[in-house]
Structure 1
């Protein structure tokens, strides 16, 4: 199964961002972008790729430990940017040091569970809102740059299974399913 560790913003914060993305979707050039769905919006902490089910018990135990050692912290979605003029994203502000720490701990948990991870890179917090062909991202960035969402308390680490589209139908999106969650700061045992 294809897995990643993530932080899931609450629905109110996603609705705020959704209003901005809806404007972008309807703007000139918006039709040439594959906009990601609100249901799939998340902050990836550690992408694990295909994981053998036999490794899940160890991974769950290590992610629970990573969560218990990380305090609850505050974030908000703010601004935006692009990767390679193809991927548009919303930025993140707040306690980025703790977010990076949780990302590092999630990556280490996966490695210790025996998952072959990609080369380690410095964590860069973002929420992908769209992908497309190389284009002028300036008008989109102007709108995203002015965005500032409300603050929320991050209280859990989530393990997500993603299923990529296989039908070949244009516009089909990946499906995401939470397969485990653990409270930050040792607030009890989580699902999974």
Structure 2
């Protein structure tokens, strides 16, 4: 899993907030202060199997599945199929339009594949590397961040999702890692705040770097 650590860095797990922070009260409040958010999740979400159990039981009415194929990958595939069949609204964004999961989508959004994406990945030794595209994305395929940002803007969150370039997201990510990360507030291991003012050219040329970077 070449970007398993990267997923943790941005809060991609059900039991983590962004910038590798957990759900301790001080971290929830810290993230809320950084983003000026009045509504913050305060406890961990559901892991994949539990999430699909909740969909199956009607506790979750809508789901957005990004770049994964749960009706194949989950241990109880038949139950996952039943869950999606019973779900009121299913969105799937993927670089392949005919996966087993796509069959149950109400909306399909074309995302970019490896080789078409622009961003960073972080390996298990905490080394951040640039991922540069070397293929032209086909048709209307977009990067995941572009899809998320456009949906958010349509929902009325223009101020929070006004990104024009991928470097802007990296800058914000780096800034959060260093926010209130000091002796007064408690020192956290994940800190790449040195890179929060990186410009487009420097980001494009970024060489692999191992965090913490301060």
Q: Which has the higher contact order (CA 8 A, sep 6+)?
A: 1
Of Structure 1 and Structure 2, the greater strand share is in 1
User: Who wins on radius of gyration, i.e. which is larger?
Assistant: 2
Taking structure 1 as the reference length, the TM-score comes to 0.29
